[in-house]
Copies of this chain bind each other. A is one copy, B any other.
Amino acid sequence: MVSYLTEALVAGGHDVTLFASGDSVTSADLVAVRDRSLRNHPRPCDPAVWHTIMLDEVSRRADQFDVIHFHVDCTHYPMARRCLTPCVTTLHGRLDLPDLAALHQHFAEHPVVAISNAQRRLLPQANWCATVHHGLPLALYDFNGTPQDYFAFVGRVSPEKRLDRAIEIALACNTRLRIAAKVDAADRNYFETVIRPLLNHPLIAFEGEVGDGDKNALLGNARALLFPIDWPEPFGLVMIEAMACGTPVVAYARGAVPEVMDHGVSGFVVSNQSQAIEAARSIGEIDRQACRRGFERRYVSSIMASEYVKVYESLARRRGTVKLRSVGGTDHVIRTPG
């Protein structure tokens, strides 16, 4: 998401410096404190070491920018409090955790951005300055008006994602379910005990983790994406990925779902399995072109960038040029025409 935002800001004429690993592909000026991302390294790394070095580099250059936008956790809050350059942080995770309430009570002045109003309501103590929905590059996913005869499930295999419900919905509709899902180490036991026994059916295809190109085809060719979650989903990125393909979504009304979905246009928002099954059976009623138009109207990365520029401008002191920075594993600087 930081990459999509950065590219959209650069495309909008802004001057952005991205703090990230050296293997990042970006149109922004890149400041890398190490060559490869921590995730792609052959030996285990200490993330605290590299975040500390990156934070030091951000501090060192702080006066070159008008705004610093962070997408990392919270270790920068003390530095942000003392920094003359305005700082803002987008909170990407689940917020109903007691420690986060204490954190935002202590750093009560730190400006934060939510990725949904549902997420924001879970932490009313924080100094919210905006809600900015995620956005995708317009051409990242291809519209597909003629899907094949299957449903898709895309995401982690974890209890809150409720793949078991998706399987039940597909079987009730006698429709094939293609599952593109990652199993994290923490969810291995759940996968083996709860999910694996459900996979042994000719209509159920477990395809493991898929790359971006495969995801485009898998989502675009699906009659619907099933998203029967059971947790306060902060946003639910895969919903807008499906919409970008014109693929409607059958989603449970938890977290950001009612806010991200346009019921009857981008799919159906449901509250229980019988509604979900009925919605999946009726999915042909959704106009896939209207579904795609909904994506183009609300969830394109240039729209997200415009919303963030409003945030930056409200934070930055007006100085002829407006320079902005953002940190996200990652950190960037933007210079807007005056």
* A residues at B contact (CB < 8 Å): 33-34, 43, 45-46, 48-53, 55-56, 59, 73-75, 77-79, 81-82, 97-100, 102-103, 106-107
Contact = CB atoms under 8 A, between A and B. Distances in A.
B74 A52 contact: yes
Contacts of A59: 78, 82
Contact of A99 (B46, B97, B103): B46
24 contacts: A34-B102, A43-B98, A45-B99, A46-B97, A48-B74, A48-B75, A49-B99, A49-B100, A49-B103, A50-B99, A52-B74, A52-B75, A52-B77, A52-B78, A53-B102, A53-B103, A53-B106, A53-B107, A56-B77, A56-B78, A56-B106, A56-B107, A75-B75, A78-B79
B55 A102 contact: no
A79 B55 CA distance: 10
A53 B73 CA distance: 13
Q: Which 9 A-B pairs have the closest CB atoms?
A: A56-B78, A49-B99, A46-B99, A49-B103, A53-B106, A52-B74, A55-B78, A52-B75, A75-B75
A59 B81 CA distance: 10
Contact of A56 (B43, B53, B55, B81): B81
A41 to B, nearest CB: 10
